[in-house]
Chain A
Amino acid sequence: MNGPEAFKDQVKQLYRALTGLLIAFVMVIGLVMAYVNDPSIFDSKDDSWVAVPEEDPDLIVDGIHQRTGLIEAEGLMAVVSNCTSCHSAKLITQNRMNAERWNTTIAWMQETQNLWDLGDQQEVIVNYLVTNYPPKAKGRRMALTDIQWYELEEE
């Protein structure tokens, strides 16, 4: 093949490749859109799963993940998926621990509560917890707070 022929061929090849990429891209976008629109679209029929009508399970309003009450921040979804299967998120948000104690707590849950290996998610989870729910100093006795004043009626 001489010059112009080879060039034409290359253009054709490039055109095909680009078209292929574009089609693939459109398909991926389509799948993503379909998934976002209806997360159940890829489910096979599986009777062990009960269909529960839900809006957006991961709706965030004012920086709070609505389903769990957890603060939106880096690592949120790792915490939601690994830490709220067995117990309520309320057990997490009530507690204030440093990284060492959270790691000890995770080890305890793995030993006694059937928590799975968290892999590289453990660091993400612990970082989320110590950043968003840090320990507060309380001393030996805190001042009374959140007092709701009311007029005491005669008995």
Chain B
Amino acid sequence: MKRRAFIQKTALSAFAAALGTEIVFGANLLKGYTPLGLQDPDPFELFKKNKDMVVLNDRPWNIEARAHLLDEKITSNANMFIRNNGLIPQEIDVANWTLTIDGESVKNSKTYSLEELKTKFKQYTYQLTLECGGNGRSEFDPPAKGNQWTVGAVHCAQWTGVRLRDVLEDAGIASDAVYIGYHAADVHLSGDPTKEPISRGCPMSKALQEETLLAFKLNGQDIPVAHGYPLRLVAGGWPASVSGKWIERISIRNIVHDGAKMTGTAYRVPCKPVAPGAKVADADMCIIESMPVKSLITYPKSGAVLKKGRKLNIRGHAWAGELEVAKMEYSIDFGSTWKSCELSKPANRLAWQHFTASIDFPEVGYYEVWARATDSQGKAQPMVLPGWNPKGYLNNACHRIAIKVQ
């Protein structure tokens, strides 16, 4: 840091040049910027995360679970992935925290304190599946830009809050309302206070669903700071980026919300299928809505070695965005044959479902157990990568674990 300060002294820049060190366009560097790696806290301690979670990025924080960490029916905070686009708000003043409903299509712009939200509106609790739109991005070829999530950017926790619908209706929704867009307290990576790191939303139809919450509790406790304390929008089954954290304002829009990461290529896929590596114009990219059918084997952890003759009991979860999972199967011969799993009903709409199966292996050797879910409209997970897209979203290819029988 001091070195950077030194380099910024223009009078001495020639001296620095003579030393052959880095010359930045120093005037553009932010004052007070703290270099990485010097003051980094232990993220596992800081966010109370399981030590087996994987840190993909530390500025902004992006941390993913591994399949076996997601074995719980209701994901606990310790195993919930973190996907942040900006910096976590530093000072959260709960006593003075307010939520404002505004926008072109609000009848009466209104501001509520947290206390008002909690007392004025009925509270509901749902288990809601939130999966990052980019979960599975690491498998795309050619590689897609962004955090290289493998399988662990998904969770299904229990959220408690008020229905967004009740709050929007209290303020009044004009007849030309199209979309809602959230605004939050997180800070742009550049530190620029005029920029929002992310400001996404959803069409009115999703905003008005019973399960779309303004939540203040996660698994019965205050929402942890990294997950949006004190107020989070939760829209299960859609890319988790719709579920904005640290919410301060929701605008009822008369156009499709055009906030940060709503436009361009962010959280969009080609409207029509393209070849791997193709260039796609922004105008040909469509916003992702419901996430596709997917499943995860959460027990055993990949790499299990067992004795011949022993049955292997597997279990996991399956989810299908707005839809329900209708069928769950597994294969131990790379998709040549499939057998059924026991599949539970969801605890509520948009909650993931649990599956189990008991597997016999015919011979010693190397096996992979593949899991395949089929949604209520007959769409199943592909065994290879689904359609390539520039940003690497929506990889719902079958999950696989390795097994050795001796």
Contacts and interface: CB of A to CB of B under 8 A. Distances in A.
Interface of A: 31-32, 35, 39-40, 42-44, 46, 48-52, 54, 57, 67-68, 77-78, 80-82, 84-91, 94-97, 101, 105, 108, 112-114, 116-119, 121, 135-142, 144, 147-152, 155
B189 interface: yes
B1 A114 contact: no
B113 interface: no
Contacts of A80: 22
B21 A77 contact: yes
A141 B1 contact: no
A57 B60 CA distance: 21
A40 B2 contact: yes
Interface string B253-268: 0000000100010000
B1 A88 contact: no
8 closest Cβ pairs, A-B complex: A116-B28, A114-B190, A138-B141, A81-B22, A152-B304, A77-B22, A140-B384, A40-B2
Contact of A87 (B4, B60, B400): B60
Contact of A48 (B31, B58, B139): B31
Contacts of B1: 49-52, 54
A142 B9 contact: no
15 contacts: A48-B31, A51-B1, A51-B2, A52-B1, A52-B38, A87-B57, A88-B57, A91-B147, A94-B56, A118-B25, A135-B143, A147-B302, A147-B402, A151-B305, A152-B305
Contacts of B25: 82, 116-119
Given A50-B1, A141-B385, A149-B303, A68 B189 contact: no
B118 interface: no
Interface string B178-209: 00000000001110100100000000000000
Interface in B127-167: 139-143, 145-148
A86 B9 contact: no
Nearest to A155: B313
B359 to A, nearest CB: 12
Contact of A95 (B30, B146, B313, B404): B146
Contact of A149 (B38, B55, B264, B404): B404
B152 to A, nearest CB: 14
Contacts of A48: 31-32
Interface in B348-406: 368, 383-385, 397, 400, 402, 404
B300 A152 contact: yes
A43 B6 contact: yes
Contacts of A88: 36, 57-60
Nearest to A119: B25
A142 to B, nearest CB: 7
Nearest to B263: A112
Main SS class of interface, B: loop
A92 to B, nearest CB: 10
B400 A144 contact: yes
A74 to B, nearest CB: 12
Contacts of A43: 2, 5-6, 9
Contacts of B368: 144
Contacts of B55: 90
Choose among B3, B302, B313 the residue with the greatest number of A CB atoms under 10 Å from its CB.
B3
Contacts of B304: 150-152
A84 B35 contact: yes
Interface string B286-303: 000000000000001111
Q: Which residue of B21, B35, B404 has the most chain A CB atoms within 10 A of its CB atom? A: B35
Given A101-B145, A142-B139, A81 B24 contact: yes
A22 to B, nearest CB: 18
A57 B7 CA distance: 14
B12 interface: yes
Nearest to A118: B25
A130 B227 CA distance: 35
A67 B40 CA distance: 11
A35 B2 contact: no
B39 interface: yes
Nearest to B300: A152
A139 B141 contact: yes
